[in-house]
Amino acid sequence: MFIIDPHCHMVSRTTADYETMALAGVVAISEPAFWAGFDRSPAGFVDYYRQLTEFEPKRAAQFGIDHYCWICLNPKEAEDLGKAKEVLAEIPKFLDKPTVLGVGEIGLNKNTPNEAKVFQQHVQMAIDTWEKSKAAGATGGHHLILIHTPHLEDKLKGTKWTLEMLKDFGSKIDHSRVLIDHVEEHTIKIVKDAGYWAGMTLYPVSKCTPQRAVDMIEMHGAERLMVNAAADWGVSDPLNTHRTMLEAKKRGHALETLMTVFYNNPARFFGQCPKFKPRPMRVEEVRE
Amino acid sequence: MKTLPEKSRSAAEVLDTYFLETRAKLIEIAANLDRVDRSPELIQVRGDMRLTFIDRALEILRGPGPSRAEQIQRLYSKE
């Protein structure tokens, strides 16, 4: 079966991981901009954005994988407003690159006022820079937005605050063009009820397990829901998306459900950006 | 709307599938707590909020389902 991993930090992975993922059916990856494990200089961000938009697509293509990315200043480095201003000024130059899907992963990390300010600036940028893309034939009211939600004890408060801030943008925000990531048992409902797409991240200790992810698919429905491995430089596994699919398969979920969660939902959400090539597919039994 | 498997499994089947995994995790929790108890200067962690959290989470486990996971997530969330 084909799989689209909607959130994987491939800059941290080896080329062998690309090969493994390709062997396991991954045909496309979306890679949000994130924290490198240390705080970078503004110049370091420009190099990073070039890595995401120039180098990674080539590395992925060796294995027949389409590589897409998202550009932003991640929340972990948003505390320094001076640096944020400098980095944000560089972002529009990258948004129209051929493999950039939108602005992300933005959001809150420790729920601080400065993180909130920089989050709002990113959302405003996604709206303000849209006109140029629109002229190139894209539809919608803003760039696609990918949102990170905080970890552990900060997640619930941060998710609620994120939703409030998005609400403040009113009709300027199209909920169907926003993906809110790292939802868990206590946040999935408020995100889906608000009409946003939701992502579940399979990550040891701090996030979700394959078993819990399938529980959430069952309880909250496959609609507007995605699963990702988020594999990065920490202890993580790019095949955790597959382990979740296997858990769903073991429980007897239909092939159509697996297709929905692991391929068609990402294809539908990302496909709102005309740069994203994979299209939703239908499972059809042929009787001969 | 819920997304359910094509054929629903009985509670007994689900328990068969996950019992050993659950048992292993409970033993792991017990061993983790024993390790804390065996360590020197145990008094330093008396009243530690994390141990209180574990106690309260165990109470949730003893309570009725089916939203125990969500209840523990909320217990551990800062408001």
pLDDT of residue A284: 87
Pairing mode of beta strands A178-180, A197-201: parallel
Residue B20: other Cβ atoms inside 10 A: 9
Domain A3-270 classified CATH 3.20.20.70?
A: no
The torsion angles phi and psi of A133, rounded to 5 degrees, stand at: -70, -35
Chain B residues whose CB is inside 8 A of the A223 CB are: 1, 3
Give bridge partners of residue A197 from the DSSP assignment.
Answer: A179
Q: Which 3 state secondary structure label does DSSP give A30? A: strand
Lowest mean pLDDT among A134-138, A153-157, A182-186, B12-16: A134-138
Give bridge partners of residue A3 from the DSSP assignment.
Answer: A26
Give bridge partners of residue A199 from the DSSP assignment.
Answer: A226
pLDDT of residue A136: 64
Residue positions counted in chain A:
288
Q: Do residues A133 and A273 make contact, with C-beta atoms less than 8 angstroms apart?
A: no
Chain A residues whose CB is inside 8 A of the B70 CB are: 185-186
Label residues A130-167 b or e (16+ Cβ within 10 Å = b).
Answer: beebeeeebeeebbbbbbbbbeeebbbebbbbbbebbe
pLDDT of residue A135: 60
pLDDT of residue A54: 98
* Chain B interface test: which of A185, A215, A226 (most B C-beta within 10 Å): A185
Question: For A143-159, what is each residue's pLDDT tens digit?
Answer: 999 999 999 999 999 99
Residue B7: other Cβ atoms inside 10 A: 9
Contact between A219 and B74 using a beta-carbon 8 Å cutoff: no
Mean pLDDT of chain A: 95
Domain range list for chain A: 3-270
Residue in chain B closest to A192 (alpha carbons) equals B1
Question: For A1-53, what is each residue's pLDDT tens digit?
Answer: 899 999 999 999 999 999 999 999 999 999 999 999 999 999 999 999 999 99
Which two tokens mark A185? 């048992």
The alpha carbon of residue A138 is apart from the nearest alpha carbon of chain B, in Å, by 31
Domain range list for chain B: 10-42, 47-79
Q: Do residues A248 and A261 make contact, with C-beta atoms less than 8 angstroms apart?
A: yes
Contact between B5 and A218 using a beta-carbon 8 Å cutoff: yes
**Side chain identity at residue A205, one-letter code:** V
Chain B residues whose CB is inside 8 A of the A156 CB are: 73-74, 77-79
Interchain contact B47–A (C-beta under 8 A)? no
- Say what the ipTM of the complex is: 0.91
